[in-house]
Amino acid sequence: MELNRRTVIAGTAAAGLATTLGTGSAQAGTGSGGRKPVRELFGTLADGTKVYRWSLENGGTRLKVLSYGGIVQTLELPDRHGRYANVVAGFDDIADYVAKSPYFGALIGRYGNRIGKGQFTLDGTSYQLSVNDGVNSLHGGAKGFDKHVWDVEPFTEGSDVGLHLHYTSVDGEMGYPGTLRTTVTYTLTRHGDWRIDYAATTDKATVVNLTSHVYWNLAGEGSGTIEDHELTIAASRYTPTDSGLIPTGELAEVAGTPFDFRHAKPVGRDIRAGHEQQVQAKGYDHNWVLDKGITARPEHIATLRDPRSGRTLKIATDQPGLQFYSGNFLDGTLTGTGGRTYRQGDALCLETQHFPDSPNHAEFPSTVLRPGQTYRTSTLHTFGA
């Protein structure tokens, strides 16, 4: 966590107050080592499976993660005065996650975003996936990785704390070939940064594109629109889509369009520009083609800043794409952890990934994983105020 000196002092004082009030101890801005993750029962699924919630804290960041879907239920950060707020959308109740979650905070697999008609051909064999978004397959199909209970293993390593989350998807699940063994590691560093490391292996050739579907509102969950958040994305091109939000294959220039976030710009500035791609998607819901391409290590690709609170989020990834989704389908029917309903644009997603529908676009970077290979990608979230 990047905090200026004034914030560090204020943050520590605020954390002390929070302890007195019984909202949990904090090490805001101290940069000291974290505590062992703590587990509590969160709820029970209809079939009797217990869902646990893990609380992690390090370097001034507080994170609560569910074993169901690896969901980040809350993520609390100090503002420029050291005052904490939960900056991610989520529910209080497991029943809401099961019944109606638009992937709040969840791990997405086997394939982040859409595959056209849920079909692809690999090594001459055609596969039909579970279709759950009109004629297309979205975020892994009807029962993606977001709707499974993961095995969770807590760890403390040096000054880091974290969780290893394991899920094995059997051959043919949701139509995908191969048994896919996935481990996702969430690490909170002593600086309060949140890192995600994804790893997977398969026993048959398959396609994989894992991501995290956190909905951010740096002013605080349920506090209103994200249209005043300033966003920067290091991308000169994006992938325009058809009306079903499947990429056409074109890598269009952002220059001179509302899609240009190469310099910090409020999300709402051009959101009503009436560009046909925005009209179709009801806002931003596109994959940006990151200028850096695929890299061996995570590189900084996006910054989100809330001018009111001063909170900032910087994202670094080794992936070639970023899906920026401006919460277009939030319609006032879901009530979040703070008791307020989420309306259109009350939170936004920044999903690091390979491009949507890559299995049907030979010209896009490949998402094929073969036996003997290990899929590995990492995304780092750095917070500041």
Catalytic positions: 213, 351
Within positions 152 to 211, which residues make up the interface with ligand BGC, using CB under 6 A?
none
Nearer to ligand BGC, 73 or 113 (CB): 113
Shortest CB 140 distance to ligand BGC, Å:
11
318-332 CB burial, b ≥16 within 10 A, e <16: bbbbbbbbbbbebee
Within positions 15 to 74, which residues make up the interface with ligand BGC, using CB under 6 A?
none
- Using CB under 6 A, which of the segments 19-27, 77-85, 224-232, 321-329 binds ligand BGC? 321-329
Residue type, 155: F
Shortest CB 102 distance to ligand BGC, Å:
4
Using CB under 6 A as the binding criterion, the count of chain residues that bind ligand BGC stands at 10
User: What is the DSSP track for 72-139?
Assistant: EEEEEEE-TTS-EEE-B---S-HHHHHHH-S-TTEEE-SBSSEEGGGEEEETTEEEE----BTTBEET
Within positions 282 to 301, which residues make up the interface with ligand BGC, using CB under 6 A?
285
DSSP 352: E
Per the listing, tokens 């000054």 go with 159
Count the alpha carbons within 13 Å of 385 in the hemisphere toward its beta carbon.
29
Nearer to ligand BGC, 325 or 355 (CB): 325
Q: From the list 76, 79, 318, 351, which residue makes contact with ligand BGC (rule: CB under 6 A)?
A: 351
Nearer to ligand BGC, 209 or 382 (CB): 209
> Taking CB under 6 A as the rule, which mask of x and - marks residues 89-118 in contact with ligand BGC?
-------------xx---------x-----
DSSP 323: E
In whole angstroms, how far apart are CA 183 and each of 167, 178, 208? 7, 16, 13
Question: Distance (Å, rounded) from C-alpha 144 to C-alpha 5?
Answer: 44
Nearer to ligand BGC, 56 or 231 (CB): 231
| Binding of ligand BGC by 245 (CB under 6 A) | yes
Nearer to ligand BGC, 58 or 239 (CB): 239
Residue type, 344: Q
